[in-house]
Structure formats: structure tokens, C-alpha cells
């Protein structure tokens, strides 16, 4: 299990915004949806393409892969439309001392 990686301060990630953090060679996109923070692997489950290149919809809690248009719910990672059917990998997020942290918790 990886160590916690600092993403940014809470002031640097306002509602509707996203940031990418790295845990080793794993890119993680962290989003602020209405004051709650969520983290997904920055990789579409359909194609190996960065989700962070797409649009994070801060009203719908979705992020869209620009390659083929698949959308994912940032709260649980589930794929919402084809061509993606598998969920995006979710990671834990914590807020501590005004900073947002995440980690790749896979073994």
C-alpha cells in the first residue's frame, strides 16, 4: 500500500476543479465535487487515456474521457455510458491540516 501523497491545499482545489497527483508512476485525478474530494486513477477503463484531459462536470459529478466520450461518476468510479463498461479505479482521499491527500491503496 502506498504512502499518502499531498495533492494541494483545499484553497487550491475549489468546487468544480480537479488536479492530478502522482503516486510513483500512477497518475491520480482528484476532484472537488461540492466540497467533497474524490480520487480516480487518471486512466479511462476503456482505453489507456488520461481522464484529466477531459471535462470534469462539477454539477453532475462526472468526468468524461475525451477519446471516446465515456463518462464516469467521480464519487464511485462507475462507467455511465459505452464504450467504457468497467469502472475507473477509485482511491482514498483525506483532508488534513488544510491539505488534500490521496494514495494508491492497491496491493
**pLDDT tens profile 47-105:** 999 999 999 999 999 999 999 999 999 999 999 999 999 999 999 999 999 999 999 99
pLDDT band at residue 1 under the 50/70/90 scheme: low
Q: Is residue 30 part of a domain?
A: yes
Q: What is the CATH number of the domain that holds 69?
A: 2.102.10.10
Domain residue limits at 82: 5-97
Between CA 106 and CA 100 the distance in angstroms is 19
Q: Is residue 107 part of a domain?
A: no
Average pLDDT, integer, range 24-34: 97
- Considering the entire predicted model, what is its pTM? 0.95
pLDDT at 2 over 90: no
Amino acid at each position: 500500500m502506498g504512502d499518502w501523497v499531498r495533492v494541494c491545499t483545499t484553497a487550491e482545489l475549489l468546487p468544480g476543479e480537479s488536479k492530478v497527483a502522482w503516486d510513483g508512476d500512477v497518475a491520480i485525478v482528484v476532484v472537488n465535487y461540492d466540497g467533497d474530494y474524490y480520487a480516480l486513477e487518471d486512466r479511462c477503463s476503456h482505453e489507456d487515456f488520461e481522464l484529466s484531459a477531459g471535462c470534469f462536470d462539477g454539477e453532475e459529478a462526472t468526468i468524461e474521457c475525451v477519446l471516446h466520450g465515456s463518462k464516469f461518476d467521480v464519487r464511485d468510479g462507475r462507467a455511465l455510458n459505452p464504450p467504457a463498461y468497467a469502472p475507473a479505479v477509485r482511491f482514498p482521499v483525506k483532508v488534513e491540516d488544510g491539505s488534500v491527500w490521496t494514495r494508491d491503496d492497491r496491493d
